A = this chain, B = another copy of it.
Amino acid sequence: MTGRLAVVGLGPGDARWLTPEAETALGAADALFGYGPYLDRAPARAGQRRHASDNREEGARARAALESAAAGANVALVSGGDPGVFAMASAVCEQVEQGPPAWRELELAIVPGVTAMLAVAARVGAPLGHDFCALSLSDNLKPWPVIERRLDAAAQAGFVLALYNPISQSRPWQLATAFERLRGHLPVTTPTIFGRAVGRADESIVVTTLEAADPAGADMATLVIVGSAQTRVVPRPGQAPLVYTPRSIGSALA
C-alpha cells in the first residue's frame, strides 16, 4: 500500500485566501514538503514532519515528496499562490513522468489556490477583466528570445500581461528590457501595476504608467501587470484610483 501526495496552493500571503480544501489537505498530511517560508504559513499540527527546502530546488523537492508518498506517507507539498501557475504542480508531473513506474500509481491531488495575479488585480480593480496572458520573465528555464517573442505577440494582439518572476538578483536586466520592448507596442500611458508581497504585512501596490515604470520598484516578491491599450484608470477622491480593462471593445479595433 502506498500513500498519497497533495500539491497544495496556499494562495498569496494572507491566510484569509487559504481555501478550506487546502486547509484540510495540510491538516491531513503526515509530512509537509516545501520552501521554508511557505511551510511556515501552514498551521502547525503535532506529529507532522516538515521538510523545508530552498526556493530553487523544485525538482529535488518534488522527488523527495514523491518518494515519501511512495513509502506510504500522506504527503502535502506546499506551493505559494496556485500550484499550477509557475509553481510546484508542473515540477511534480515532470518527476512522475521521469521517475519509477510506481510513482504513476500514486494518488496525486492538485489543490488549486488564488494565484498572485488575481490578488494583485483585485487590489486595484479589474485590470485582468478582459483577455490576458500570464508570462514568466525568468530566463532560467527558457531562452530570452522566446520571452521577447511572447511579449511582442501578447502586446500586439491586445492581451493584458501579468508578469511573474519579473526580476531577481541573478536576473537584474530582464524587466527593464521587457518594459522597453512593450513601449514599442503600447501607449506610454498604459497602466502598469507593481504588486509586491500582496496579502502580507509588507504589501505594497503601485499604479504607474508604462512610461514611468521603474524596474527598481520590483523584486522577487513582485507581480507586475501591464495593461492593454484598452485599460483605464478611474481617479477617486481620497482613494487610490481604480484600474480596469473593459469587458467590451469596439469594432473599430477589428
Q: Which residues of A contact B (CB under 8 A)?
A: 11, 14-21, 24, 58, 82-86, 89-94, 96-97, 104-105, 108, 110-115, 118-119, 121-123, 125-136, 141-146, 149-150, 152-154, 156-159, 232, 234-239, 242, 244-249, 251, 253-254
A126 close to B84 (CB less than 8 A): yes
Docked-complex contact A17 and B16, CB < 8 angstroms: no
Residues of B within 8 A of A154 (CB): 133, 153-154, 157, 159
Q: Using Cβ atoms and an 8 Å threshold, which residues of chain B touch A135? A: 131, 159
User: Which single residue of chain B is at the shortest CB-CB distance from A234?
Assistant: B97
> By the criterion CB–CB under 8 Å, are B19 and A118 in contact?
no
Partner of A113, one of B93, B118, B159, B254: B118
Q: Which of B58, B85, B90, B248 contacts A142 (CB 8 A)?
A: B248
Closest-by-CB residue of B relative to A153 is: B157
- Distance A134 CA – B135 CA, assembled complex (angstroms): 11
Q: Separation in Å of the A165 CB from the closest CB of chain B?
A: 11
Assembly CA distance A125 to B157 (angstroms): 28
Query: How far, in Å, is A48 (CB) from chain B's closest CB?
Result: 21
Q: Assuming A94-B246, A104-B236, A112-B122, what are 4 further A-B pairs, CB within 8 angstroms? A: A82-B118, A105-B237, A149-B157, A153-B156
